[in-house]
Amino acid sequence: MFTGLIEEVGSLAQLTPTPGGGAKLKIEAKSVLSDVSLGDSIAVNGTCLTAVEWSVGEGWVVFDAVAETLQKTTLVDLKPATPVNLERALAVGSRVGGHYLTGHVDGQGRVQSIVAKGNGIVYRFQAKPDLMALVAPKGSIAVDGISLTVVDVQDESFSVWIVPHTASATNLGHLTVGDPVNLETDILAKYVARIVCRTAQGGTVTMNTLQEAGFLS
């Protein structure tokens, strides 16, 4: 479990393909290595990965990623030195400043626009309809593992309004229009859709199923 409050921004050092369509990711990091142990979960751009090797002194950690993870997320497209958001798993008794995240990415979106407004920045992200059906105004969503509050929702996009600190403390400040991002919708929305709309196991809800269930006019 994670909260979506990024602890540090690391960077990709190396991505090495492995048999079966997987890969090993070597990430440069510092803060998240302070108490790392074999098998620990660390979210990399919102993707829950397992630490298998590291060096605190040299400042790096290695993760294994299977083919499903690479197909669902943007990790396979990372280039050396690309900034990545890092967060250790939630410790019992810690404050939950964001919202509960699983680190299981639902799909990808893309940056549609970035507009400065007053002392904030408005980001709009495009996403497929099956993901947009699970996004609600003033609800929570994770973008590259960052816990954000949705401002408004359209058929194939949503916006968030962030403060400068969020841009500087995460990879958001490095994103440009067209860049891909990992998206994790709210876990409660997924369970409600699964129960009420009777979506197939492993499937996703659609706008049509929500309309048929009476949730949308």
Q: In three state form, how does the secondary structure of 121-187 look?
A: EEEEEECCHHHHCCCCCCCEEEECCEEEEEEEEECCEEEEEECHHHHHHCHHHHCCCCCEEEEECCH
The total domain count for the chain is 2
Please indicate, yes or no, whether residues 75 and 125 belong to a single structural domain of this protein: no
Q: What is the pLDDT of residues 94-112, one digit of tens each?
A: 777 778 889 999 999 999 9
* Residue 194, pLDDT score: 76
Q: List the CATH number of the domain containing 29.
A: 2.40.30.20
Is 99 within a domain? no
CA nearest to 55, candidates 25, 15, 26: 26
* Residue 191, pLDDT score: 82
pLDDT for residue 203 is more than 70: no
Please indicate, yes or no, whether residues 167 and 204 belong to a single structural domain of this protein: yes
Please indicate, yes or no, whether residues 58 and 132 belong to a single structural domain of this protein: no
Is 182 within a domain? yes
* Residue 18, pLDDT score: 93
Question: pTM of the prediction?
Answer: 0.86
* Residue 201, pLDDT score: 43
Collapsing DSSP states into helix, strand and coil, what is residue 197?
helix
* Residue 209, pLDDT score: 57
Is 123 within a domain? yes
pLDDT for residue 9 is more than 50: yes
Is 145 within a domain? yes
Is 96 within a domain? no
State the average pLDDT over residues 67-82. Answer: 94
Return the bridge partners of 153, or none: 158
Is 205 within a domain? yes
Quote the mean pLDDT of the chain: 90
Query: What are the residues whose beta carbons fall under 8 Å from the beta carbon of 164, sequence distance 6 or more?
Result: 119, 120, 121
Please indicate, yes or no, whether residues 112 and 72 belong to a single structural domain of this protein: no
Please indicate, yes or no, whether residues 36 and 118 belong to a single structural domain of this protein: no
pLDDT for residue 214 is more than 60: no
Q: What is the C-alpha to C-alpha distance for residues 135 and 150, in angstroms, rounded to an integer?
A: 8
pLDDT for residue 77 is more than 80: yes
Question: How far from 28 is each of 56, 57, 84, 146, CA to CA, in Å?
Answer: 10, 11, 9, 19
Q: What is the pLDDT of residues 14-61, one digit of tens each?
A: 999 999 899 999 999 999 999 999 999 999 999 999 999 999 999 999
Going by pLDDT thresholds of 50, 70 and 90, the confidence category of residue 86 is very high
Going by pLDDT thresholds of 50, 70 and 90, the confidence category of residue 202 is very low
Please indicate, yes or no, whether residues 75 and 114 belong to a single structural domain of this protein: no
End of a domain among 58, 88, 118? 88
- Confirm if 142 and 184 have CB atoms less than 8 A apart: yes
Is 95 within a domain? no
- pLDDT: is 172 or 210 the higher one? 172
Q: Residue 33's domain spans which residues?
A: 8-88
Please indicate, yes or no, whether residues 122 and 204 belong to a single structural domain of this protein: yes
Please indicate, yes or no, whether residues 50 and 111 belong to a single structural domain of this protein: no
* Residue 206, pLDDT score: 58
pLDDT for residue 199 is more than 80: no
